[in-house]
Chains A and B, each alone.
Chain A
Amino acid sequence: NAGVTQTPKFRVLKTGQSMTLLCAQDMNHEYMYWYRQDPGMGLRLIHYSVGEGTTAKGEVPDGYNVSRLKKQNFLLGLESAAPSQTSVYFCASKETEDYGYTFGSGTRLTVV
């Protein structure tokens, strides 16, 4: 089925460890996004990309890096995980500005 796939679905990290979250979409969408969702705060944009090879900072980019080497993939990296990065991470993509997002099912990350 077409859509947005996130891996892994769950992960527990120790403080200071690094990891990469993978987002893959097979809809040929230009725009891809990473959000984090925390209770009472809605979704906050971390980084986004408007096309292959481009990335830009969102509302809460500190502590994260991203790469979009291929159009279909958008990677979110945590170089040195901190407990404040415990959250549910959602990837989303869209075709054009007036289209809604297609969301992945999320990655639940716990940093201890």
Chain B
Amino acid sequence: AQSVTQLGSHVSVSEGALVLLRCNYSSSVPPYLFWYVQYPNQGLQLLLKYTTGATLVKGINGFEAEFKKSETSFHLTKPSAHMSDAAEYFCAVNSWHQFYFGTGTSLTVIP
């Protein structure tokens, strides 16, 4: 069975500071991994994904994530937070036809 754990349901950073959102997964097979962002009253948008190949994946809006198989992690980072980054972020694992989502991390950016 697959599962996704997001450490920290709420994260606050100052504008311009590093953003680090943590995601660990459990999977019996090499997974496909995703990060989604959800702005208030909207659906989820794909930020980035890892399927195969390079383990450092770059996404939209300056975000990137690194797949570390040995640590079963797929943490999301951004060097410098912007006010517009305030949103809910979901990590997800894809296994066969189903996605398994983490419970989400709400990011607050402090001016």
Contact = CB atoms under 8 A, between A and B. Distances in A.
Interface stretch (A12-20, A77-85, A100-108): A100-108
Interface string A69-94: 00000000000000000000010100
Contacts of B97: 31, 48, 50, 56, 97
Determine the main DSSP class of B at the interface with A. Answer: strand
Number of chain B interface residues as a range: 20 to 34
Contacts of A98: 32, 49, 51, 94
A41 B102 CA distance: 8
A97 B94 contact: yes
Interface in B80-103: 90, 94, 96-99, 101-103
Interface of B: 9, 32, 34, 36, 41-46, 49, 51, 90, 94, 96-99, 101-104
Interface of A: 4, 31, 33, 40-45, 48, 50, 56, 58, 90, 92, 97-98, 100-106
